Amino acid sequence: MEFQGKSWKFGADVDTDAIIPARYLNTSDPAELALHCMEDADPDFPKKVSQGDVIVAEKNFGCGSSREHAPICIKAAGVSCVIAKSFARIFYRNAFNIGLPILESPDAVDGITEGDEVKVDVDNGVIYNVTTGKSFKSTAIPPFMQELIDAGGLINYVRGRMNR
């Protein structure tokens, strides 16, 4: 999987309430949720973001609630991938389960300025800053997670196991 897009930078400890505030959780429709993606961190984000863009954040991205609406709305807003110094664990798990690519790379986060064009090779964990010409490695995805991705997410994986 390869993606290229413009980067949007966020700080540390971006919580799930900032990603998708609870006041919008009376629906689970991805398109509707996408209209409010990252709204409490940056009110203009839903308007500014375009298909393929990349979110780049400091440590502990996605902390807080277990709402899968968080990775769902990011994916539905067109974001191709999230790069952070670290992820909160439920968000990390949810992102893999629903097929939103996420990569941990402190170097890449420090080496990307908002607006830089970024190319991401998810399979090899390589992040290339097209604007500056620098490239970075991300932490390897555990083999089991790779299996989940290959199966097309957790539901397909479980369906495969249960119908075996």
Partner 1 sequence: MGMTITEKILAAHAGKDRVEPGELINARVDVVLGNDITAPVAIKEFEKIGVPDVFDKEKVVLIPDHFTPNKDIKSAEQAKMLREFAKKHSLTNYFEVGRMGIEHCLLPEQGIVLPGDVVIGADSHTCTYGALGAFSTGVGSTDMAAGMAAGEVWFKVPESIKFVFNGEKLPEWVGGKDLILYAIGDIGVDGALYEAMEFTGPAIRNLSMDGRFTMANMAIEAGGKNGIIAPDQTTVDYVESRAKRPYKIYNSDDDAKYERVIEYDVADIEPQVAFPHLPENTKPISEVGTVEIDQAVIGSCTNGRMEDLRLAAKVLQGHEVHPDVRLVIFPGTQTIYKQAMKEGLFEIFVDAGAAVSTPTCGPCLGGHMGILAKGERAIATTNRNFVGRMGHPESEVYLSNPAVAAASAILGRIAGPEEVE
**Smaller CB distance to partner 1: residue 95 or 120?**
95
Pairing of strands 2-10, 54-57: parallel
Residue range at the interface with partner 1 (CB under 8 A); choices 14-22, 76-84, 102-110, 116-124: 14-22
Residue 88 found at the interface with partner 1 (CB under 8 A): yes
We find the least distance from the C-beta atom of residue 9 to partner 1, in angstroms, to be 17
Please enumerate, as own/partner, the contacts of 101-104 that have beta carbons within 8 Å and a separation of 24 or more: 101/1, 101/3, 101/149, 103/127, 103/138, 103/139, 104/138, 104/139
| Contact pick of 60, 105, 129, 138 for partner 1 (by CB under 8 A) | 60
Pairing of strands 54-57, 134-137: unpaired
| Contact pick of 72, 81, 83, 108 for partner 1 (by CB under 8 A) | 72
Contact 139, 75 (CB under 8 A): no
Residue 68 found at the interface with partner 1 (CB under 8 A): yes
Q: What tokens appear for 112 in the block?
A: 């990307």
62/48 Cα distance (integer angstroms):
20
Residue 27 found at the interface with partner 1 (CB under 8 A): yes
DSSP state of 44: T
We find the least distance from the C-beta atom of residue 155 to partner 1, in angstroms, to be 5
10/79 Cα distance (integer angstroms):
14
Site track for partner 1 across 112-151, x = CB under 8 A: ------------------------------x-x-------
Instruction: List residues near partner 1 by CB under 8 A.
Output: 13, 15, 17-18, 21-23, 25-28, 39-41, 43, 59-60, 63-69, 71-72, 86, 88-90, 93-94, 97-98, 142, 144, 153-155, 157-159, 161-163
